[in-house]
Amino acid sequence: MLNYIRAEFYKLARRKGYWIFLAVVLALESLLVWGFHMVNASGGRLCFEDCVLSVVPQALSFGGYFAIVAGEMVFAGQYKNGTLKNEVAFGLPRWRIYLGKLIVQLMASTLMCLVMVGYYVIICRLTTPEAGNAPVMLLLGKSLLAALPVWVGVQGMICACCFLIRGEAAHTIAAVSIYWGLPNLLTFVGLLFYQYPAGRKMMEIAEWTPSQMLGYTARYLEEDFLPWLGWMCLVGGVWLAVSTVLGLWRFRRKEIN
């Protein structure tokens, strides 16, 4: 398994798309912080605490989309290129192929997240004044800690989509639809039929989907954090377990050609 993971990391490191995407995101972060600097230069009073705590906890749901990008880059068109068929024909156990790619996806997503958040925090600290009236790093750490289990669960879903759906566009659309489209569809239908118990139940279910829960995390950073962290771990664990079991089960029976 370790050799397989090393090989996948070697292939990922040689893919320019991963580094180009990361560079583009860092450039956009630089542009955002430059905007903060211009606001302060024009008489505004944006401090380090405002720039970090008003952006990062509120943007946690975007981590799901970055996870989709990382998953796509690790899988990298294995069906189209025939490399997955070669791995199976070489005699590698299918569980090793599946779990190896899932582990690399998780590690690549985590690395991407750490670089993005770390870079943003550093340039905010260097370019904006510090007010000193908020535990920025503590609240930032709590927000990332709460988001981590849900991000892991989303990555499990993305891996299942990559293995079970042929075509890069198809499994990307499927992953985005499950992550973003499903909660919005449940909310829309729930609002239409809110007068009925089924409609209200759909809205309740939508609130427990990963993208919705990530968006709510900022509310719980100072109060009721531990119960919220428990719920995030539960939801992320369920998504990871269900998607991984389903993905392994179907991939073991899938004809690779």
Which contiguous run of DSSP H or E holds residue 66?
helix 62-75
Cα 252 from Cα 257, distance rounded (Å):
14
* CA-derived radius of gyration, the chain: 20
Q: Is residue 111 part of a domain?
A: yes
- Over residues 201-238, the pLDDT tens digits come to 888 888 889 988 998 888 888 888 999 999 999 999 99
Q: Are 103 and 5 in contact (CB under 8 A)?
A: yes
Q: Is residue 57 part of a domain?
A: yes
Q: Is residue 168 part of a domain?
A: yes
Residues whose CB falls within 8 Å of the CB of residue 45, separated by 6 or more in sequence, listed in order: none
pLDDT in tens, the chain (257 residues): 878 888 888 888 888 888 898 999 999 999 999 988 888 888 777 888 888 888 888 888 888 888 888 888 888 777 777 777 777 777 788 888 889 889 998 988 888 889 999 999 999 888 888 776 668 889 999 999 999 999 999 999 999 988 888 877 888 888 888 888 888 888 888 888 888 888 888 888 888 899 889 988 888 888 889 999 999 999 999 999 999 999 999 888 877 76
Cα 39 from Cα 43, distance rounded (Å):
7
Q: Is residue 257 part of a domain?
A: no
CB atoms within 10 A of CB 10: 9
Q: Is residue 256 part of a domain?
A: no
Number of domains observed in the structure of the chain = 1
Cα 83 from Cα 66, distance rounded (Å):
24
Cα 151 from Cα 65, distance rounded (Å):
10
The amino acid sitting at 21 is: F
The amino acid sitting at 214 is: L
Q: SS3 for 43?
A: coil
Q: SS3 for 90?
A: coil
Which contiguous run of DSSP H or E holds residue 26?
helix 16-41
Q: What is the pTM assigned to this prediction?
A: 0.88
Q: Is residue 14 part of a domain?
A: yes
Q: Is residue 159 part of a domain?
A: yes
Q: Is residue 85 part of a domain?
A: yes
Domain interval for residue 200: 2-251
Q: How far is CA 108 from CA 99, 209, 251, in A?
A: 14, 23, 22
